[in-house]
Chains A and B, each alone.
Chain A
Amino acid sequence: QLQLQESGPGLVKPSETLSLTCTVSGGSISSSSYYWGWIRQPPGKGLEWIGSIYYSGSTYYNPSLKSRVTISVDTSKNQFSLKLSSVTAADTAVYYCARRYLAAAVNWGQGTLVTVSS
């Protein structure tokens, strides 16, 4: 059964770069037809798609975040990663990683809370 697990610092200082990794188990990140993505949810608010990546490296980013986001993939480790630069308090959220088929996030990680604060 496919599982996704987010990992990374739970606290990031303003203006710094948020870095998270998603480890995939129970399946290969190199599977065709699937994209791997990041979604976030600020406390008490709705979902926001950050972006996604194919195992070959092709990416799609949310235009509102594109200038600050980088998503990369490491097929040797079965992992993909998120970097969000120049963070502010508005980037405080639960960050989820997910496997995307067509436009649907079929499998989700449990999520990790990242707080931006000095």
Chain B
Amino acid sequence: QSVLTQPPSASGTPGQRVTISCSGSSSNIGSNTVNWYQQLPGTAPKLLIYSNNQRPSGVPDRFSGSKSGTSASLAISGLQSEDEADYYCAAWDDSLNGHVVFGGGTKLTVL
């Protein structure tokens, strides 16, 4: 059971906009920033969004993040076939001396 809650799956057609939600609590998302990772099949995860809505160099602006209260969202616009991957949210959790917590992951299928 993951500390952060994500839908197990999401889907969309090419060109569509899809969003993935991430729900937490006051000790994690409610008081710290959220990061998002993309994991393509058979590869290591890659940082996609950090500090709620910042994109590392090289990440297309089709990817965007937002946070409100104890929830966060990842939005992908202009969906492409290569976006088919697993997506994970993560945040620092202030409980028990502090540690990073992940969501369970959302498998995005491009139909």
Query: Which A residues form the contact surface with B (CB < 8 A)?
Result: 37, 46-49, 51-52, 60-63, 96, 100-106, 108-111
Contacts and interface: CB of A to CB of B under 8 A. Distances in A.
Interface in B17-62: 32-33, 35, 37, 44-47, 50-51, 56
Interface of B: 2, 32-33, 35, 37, 44-47, 50-51, 56, 88, 90-92, 95-105
Nearest to A109: B44
A61 B99 contact: yes
Interface of A is mostly: strand
B105 A47 contact: yes
Nearest to A96: B44
B2 A46 contact: yes
Contact of A102 (B33, B37, B44, B56): B33
B99 A51 contact: yes
B37 A62 contact: no
Contact of A108 (B46, B50, B91): B46
Contact of B47 (A37, A52, A104): A104
Contact of B102 (A37, A47, A101): A47
Nearest to B95: A63
Contacts of A100: 100
A111 B47 contact: no
22 contacts: A46-B88, A46-B103, A46-B105, A47-B90, A49-B90, A49-B99, A51-B99, A52-B100, A60-B97, A62-B100, A63-B96, A63-B99, A96-B45, A102-B33, A103-B35, A104-B51, A105-B47, A106-B50, A106-B56, A108-B45, A110-B44, A111-B44
A103 B92 contact: yes
B3 to A, nearest CB: 10
B47 A106 contact: yes
A51 B99 CA distance: 7
A98 to B, nearest CB: 9
